[in-house]
Amino acid sequence: MSEKVGQHLLAQREAILDRLQSLLRLPSVSTDPAYAAGMAAAREFLMERLRALGLQDVQLLEGGGQPAIYASWTGAPGRPTIIVYGHYDVQPPDPLELWLSPPFEPAIRDGRLYARGASDVKGSTLIAVETVGAFLAVEGGCPVNVKFFLEGEEEVGSPSLPAIIEKYRDLLTADAMLSADGGRGSTTTPTVSIGCRGITALQFSLRTAAKDAHSGRVGGAVRNALHEMAKLIASMHDEQGRILVEGFLDGALDVTQDIRAESAALPFDEAAWYAALGAAPFGDPDYSVRERTTVRPTVEVNGMWGGYTGAGGKTVLPCEAHAKLTMRLVPGQDPAAAQAAVRRHLEARCPAGVALEFHYRPGGTRAFTLGPQHPLLLAAERVTEWVHGQRPVRVRAGGTVPITTLFQESLGIDSLMFGLAMPDEDAHAPNEFFRLSSLEEGLRSWPLLLTELGQLSPADFPKRG
């Protein structure tokens, strides 16, 4: 009976808010060793809370870096087993001088809780933890079996995550994953997240001569590495930004009428969006801006450099140039194949006498999508409609959430992002905040969602891999 659980949670709202503020006071910055004590304190805080709430097998999962926190409650035989994902690490607080109140001293102003990590993602993580605890306190059990997996390296690219998953594979068997990270796509319209783009990366260098030369002495008779780099990069898109890399789109999702309708369902003010970025409208005119940024792939140069870049001038004819690329992928694209297509494109256009060298990690992350009838999705839609009195819009994210693909590929399970954060809450920036209204919505939504999932049997969840 999630109703009693929800009432219990809402009655405890102030205590939970106090607890969240305590957690936010612990500076758990994963990227900087100077914050090791803050990381340890956040781990202890959460493990202590999980134990106090009656979770079992509370332990650290070690993978060589910051450990993940594990805790389980498996007292619902025959019911689905759900991994509940969150992370206890946060981004660095710099630049400190732009914060209106100190980043690790939570402050409430105008219904918003300001602190580093409030939105990303201690708020939503604690909502998930408290929800499971409330079921145990009120009902003596949870509608589903729960395995908490609270990562400590999300903000640094999850370097140990594959090793942790590999090492604790048996512990992590489950029917699905619910993530407290990621989720809401709009501040005004209720949404459910049905997927995100994948990613693959490529770095390359090109060389036109054994060493830099004097532009007066050889200029006109030796290839300039920067000119060659410019020609290669320019060859990858047409004037309207369409990708010209042969084979790159192989297998890519067709943007059907259904997908168009789905994409158009979220109210989106293109003019306001461009105005906020200070940019002019751009991109493949066959697709809307929402489509371009979610269901169409990209090839982007993230960095490009060569020659003399200091103050003043230097009459050098550079022999080396470098570029870093990332490609966002849509469902159906294979990261290795997409990467190989870009490489082939560059190799085919590289003139004789110019040496190309590629530096890349093989593969990448496939796009992730929940099927339109996936039980996680249908349950999330029902719950969101109850809570908001309005049917949510299905949205895809343009970015990449590697954990969704990693859990799918490693553990064979699908994920639903059901975090409460909103896209305007300055995650990763000064004055990060979390809406107090979101705390309340989370304490209403999560019990409902666990209850809905408890109506299902493990066989209802598609298994992959």
Q: Which stretch binds its own copies (CB under 8 A): 12-20, 139-147, 200-208, 387-395?
A: 200-208
Sequence-ordered list of residues with C-beta below 8 angstroms from that of 37, at least 6 positions apart, any chain? none
Q: State the Cα–Cα distance between residues 422 and 287, nearest whole angstrom.
A: 25
**According to the binding rule CB under 8 A, does residue 220 interact with its own copies?**
yes
Beta bridge partners of 193: 395
Select from 461, 426, 420 the least CA-distant residue to 124. 420
Buried/exposed 57-94: b ≥16 CB within 10 Å, e otherwise:
ebeebebebbbbbbbbbeebeebbbbbbbbbbbbbbbe
Q: Which stretch binds its own copies (CB under 8 A): 47-55, 78-86, 295-303, 374-382?
A: 295-303
Binding its own copies (rule: CB under 8 A), the pick from 105, 251, 305, 363 is 305
Cβ closest to its own copies, residue 169 vs residue 231: 231
Minimum Å gap between C-beta 354 and its own copies is 8
**According to the binding rule CB under 8 A, does residue 211 interact with its own copies?**
yes
Binding its own copies (rule: CB under 8 A), the pick from 100, 221, 348, 459 is 221
Total Cβ atoms within 10 A of residue 376: 30
**According to the binding rule CB under 8 A, does residue 199 interact with its own copies?**
yes
Q: What angle do CA 455, 383, 84 make, to 5 degrees?
A: 70
Hey, which residues between 327 and 346 contact its own copies (CB under 8 A)?
328
Q: State the Cα–Cα distance between residues 47 and 397, nearest whole angstrom.
A: 31
Q: State the Cα–Cα distance between residues 61 and 51, nearest whole angstrom.
A: 16
**According to the binding rule CB under 8 A, does residue 162 interact with its own copies?**
no
Minimum Å gap between C-beta 425 and its own copies is 14
Binding its own copies (rule: CB under 8 A), the pick from 108, 137, 230, 378 is 230
Cβ closest to its own copies, residue 3 vs residue 238: 238
Q: State the Cα–Cα distance between residues 184 and 82, nearest whole angstrom.
A: 20
Cβ closest to its own copies, residue 331 vs residue 442: 331
Cα–Cα separations (whole angstroms), residue 190 to 209, 384, 388, 450:
57, 7, 7, 19
**According to the binding rule CB under 8 A, does residue 22 interact with its own copies?**
no
**According to the binding rule CB under 8 A, does residue 237 interact with its own copies?**
yes
Sequence-ordered list of residues with C-beta below 8 angstroms from that of 179, at least 6 positions apart, any chain? 85, 86, 401, 403, 404, 415, 416, 417, 418, 419
157: left (phi over 0), alpha (psi -120 to 50) or beta: left
Q: Which stretch binds its own copies (CB under 8 A): 118-126, 136-144, 222-230, 456-464?
A: 222-230
Minimum Å gap between C-beta 263 and its own copies is 12
**According to the binding rule CB under 8 A, does residue 281 interact with its own copies?**
yes
Minimum Å gap between C-beta 35 and its own copies is 20
Binding its own copies (rule: CB under 8 A), the pick from 132, 174, 354, 380 is 354
Q: State the Cα–Cα distance between residues 209 and 198, nearest whole angstrom.
A: 36
Minimum Å gap between C-beta 50 and its own copies is 32
**According to the binding rule CB under 8 A, does residue 307 interact with its own copies?**
yes
8-state DSSP, 351: P
Site string for its own copies, 366-405 (x = CB under 8 A): -------------------------------xxxx-----
Q: Which stretch binds its own copies (CB under 8 A): 14-22, 244-252, 316-324, 402-410?
A: 316-324
Query: Are 185 and 309 within 8 A, CB to CB?
Result: no
**Coil, strand or helix: which one is 326?**
strand
Binding its own copies (rule: CB under 8 A), the pick from 100, 261, 348, 352 is 352
Cα–Cα separations (whole angstroms), residue 381 to 84, 387, 448:
18, 10, 11
Minimum Å gap between C-beta 319 and its own copies is 8
**Coil, strand or helix: which one is 377?**
helix
**According to the binding rule CB under 8 A, does residue 362 interact with its own copies?**
no
**According to the binding rule CB under 8 A, does residue 259 interact with its own copies?**
no
Q: Which stretch binds its own copies (CB under 8 A): 4-12, 41-49, 233-241, 414-422?
A: 233-241
**According to the binding rule CB under 8 A, does residue 417 interact with its own copies?**
no
Binding its own copies (rule: CB under 8 A), the pick from 353, 363, 371, 372 is 353
User: DSSP secondary structure string, 127-175?
Assistant: HHHHHHHHHHHHHSS-SSEEEEEEES-GGGT-TTHHHHHHHTTTTT--S
**Coil, strand or helix: which one is 99?**
coil
**According to the binding rule CB under 8 A, does residue 234 interact with its own copies?**
yes
Binding its own copies (rule: CB under 8 A), the pick from 13, 19, 167, 324 is 324
How many residues in the shown chain lie near its own copies by CB under 8 A?
81
8-state DSSP, 189: S
**According to the binding rule CB under 8 A, does residue 280 interact with its own copies?**
yes
